[in-house]
Amino acid sequence: MTGLVATGLEYRYPDGRVAVDRVDLEVGPGARIGLTGRNGSGKSTLLLLLAGLVRPAAGTLSLDGAGPAVGGAERSGWRGRVGLVFQDSDDQLLAPTVRDDVEYGPRNLGLPADVVAERVDRVLALLEIADLAPRPIHALSLGQRRRVAIAGVLAMEPKVLLLDEPTAGLDPLGTAALLECLDRLHRAGTAIVLATLDLELALRWSDRLIVLDEGRVVEAGPPDVVLSSAHCARLMGRGPAILAVGRQLRAAGVLPSGENLPRDLDQLLFWLPEPPKREPRVLTLR
């Protein structure tokens, strides 16, 4: 089986709390999987397990048929191939400057210095933070730190990219740039799992959306279907306005029943009727 496969993953914290409960997951090459669920539902813990950063109490993990081995070299081999961008960038950024931090991963992979330098320059440019390269980490804004954390993981060129709330704290254009960058990686075959509480993002970005609750997968499927389910509404509220408008258009017969619900604003606008042409008002001055 190619891709990342998890079966029966379980994790409990030392206080006995079960955070991930018998999770099965398949992340095929080039997959775009959204992960959502209430605060404390287990998203971050599941990503830590998939990244091999904590050891499951039960279950198995494999990438292209081979599991993560316990021990130094092979363990870091897994980490180079499955990269996690942490929810809190401060947990990720440990080097003194931006360039040092982004260099750390590829250098640890044992790559020659010129390859490391080329990769670092490329990801810094990709995330539009080349100007930050010499800056100390502690002197960065929250959104800048998040971009550096993402750059550090991208510099490893992982086969599977795990992102925990990557758009939190990014400005709107920063979010758009990140999504564009994820699209490029997706087209190049990188599999991506993205945890988010932003249901509009989950709707427009994911090919498949998974909802966790109390550590268990409670819904999984196409994002428009999952986000339209009563179960998801009970856990996450009404969901994206775009879907509600789409459902109304379908009920009114404007959106043919065989068509998918719109997943972003452009798709929604496509189905909305043209506004009536209004004659320009002529103001008469008295």
Ligand X SMILES: Nc1ncnc2c1ncn2[C@@H]1O[C@H](COP(=O)(O)OP(=O)(O)OP(=O)(O)O)[C@@H](O)[C@H]1O
The residues binding Mg ion (CB under 5 A) are: 43-44, 87
Task: Report d(CA 196, CA 163) in Å as an integer.
Answer: 9
The DSSP bridge pattern shows strands 82-85 and 160-164 to be parallel
262 binds, options Mg ion, ligand X, none, Cβ within 5 to 8 A by partner type: none
- Would you say 216 and 11 are in contact if contact means Cβ atoms under 8 Å apart? no
Of the pair 130, 168, the CB lying nearest ligand X is at 168
Task: Report d(CA 70, CA 76) in Å as an integer.
Answer: 10
In the chain, the largest separation of any two C-alpha atoms, in whole Å, equals 88
- Would you say 93 and 43 are in contact if contact means Cβ atoms under 8 Å apart? no
Of the pair 92, 102, the CB lying nearest ligand X is at 92
Q: In the complex, which residue's CB is closest to Mg ion?
A: 44
We find the least distance from the C-beta atom of residue 87 to Mg ion, in angstroms, to be: 5
Task: Report d(CA 159, CA 134) in Å as an integer.
Answer: 28
Of the pair 98, 209, the CB lying nearest Mg ion is at 209
We find the least distance from the C-beta atom of residue 88 to Mg ion, in angstroms, to be: 9
We find the least distance from the C-beta atom of residue 216 to Mg ion, in angstroms, to be: 16
We find the least distance from the C-beta atom of residue 44 to ligand X, in angstroms, to be: 3
234 binds, options Mg ion, ligand X, none, Cβ within 5 to 8 A by partner type: none
Contact residues toward ligand X (CB under 6 A) are 13, 15, 17, 19, 37, 39-45, 87, 197
Of the pair 47, 243, the CB lying nearest Mg ion is at 47
We find the least distance from the C-beta atom of residue 4 to ligand X, in angstroms, to be: 18
We find the least distance from the C-beta atom of residue 35 to ligand X, in angstroms, to be: 9
245 binds, options ligand X, Mg ion, none, Cβ within 5 to 8 A by partner type: none
Of the pair 49, 261, the CB lying nearest ligand X is at 49
Task: Report d(CA 39, CA 62) in Å as an integer.
Answer: 27
42 binds, options ligand X, Mg ion, none, Cβ within 5 to 8 A by partner type: ligand X
Neighbours of 19 (CB within 10 A): 21
Cα dihedral 189→169→218→264 (10° resolution) = -70
Of the pair 155, 227, the CB lying nearest ligand X is at 227
How would you list the strands of the sheet with 82-85, edge to edge?
Answer: 82-85, 160-164, 191-195, 32-36, 208-213, 216-221
DSSP state of 95: S
